[in-house]
Amino acid sequence: MTNAFGKINVAIIALGALVGFLGLYLLSLEPVNNPISLNVAPFVTLGGYLVLIPAGILWPSKSEEKKAGQPEKA
């Protein structure tokens, strides 16, 4: 059984998770009404979870590109 994700895919997904957790950390900063936790942190969190992780899932891996160029064996 082969892995559907390549090294690049896993790296992008891990980066997305780290950016998402960074956004959650920024949300927890005191005082509650500071500009970072109100304005920046929600966009960082959404960028990690809604942009980077799906990009890592949808990014074509090198193994799939190699398989697409080769004829299938019967």
pLDDT tens digits for 14-25? 999 999 999 999
Length of the chain in terms of residues written: 74
- Is 80 exceeded by the pLDDT of residue 2? no
DSSP for 7-72 reads HHHHHHHHHHHHHHHHHHHHHTPSSTT-HIIIIIHHHHHHIIIIIIHHHHHHSPPHHHHHHHHSPP
Q: 8 is written with which tokens?
A: 């690049």
pLDDT the model gives residue 61 = 79
- Is 70 exceeded by the pLDDT of residue 63? no
pLDDT the model gives residue 68 = 61
pLDDT the model gives residue 54 = 95
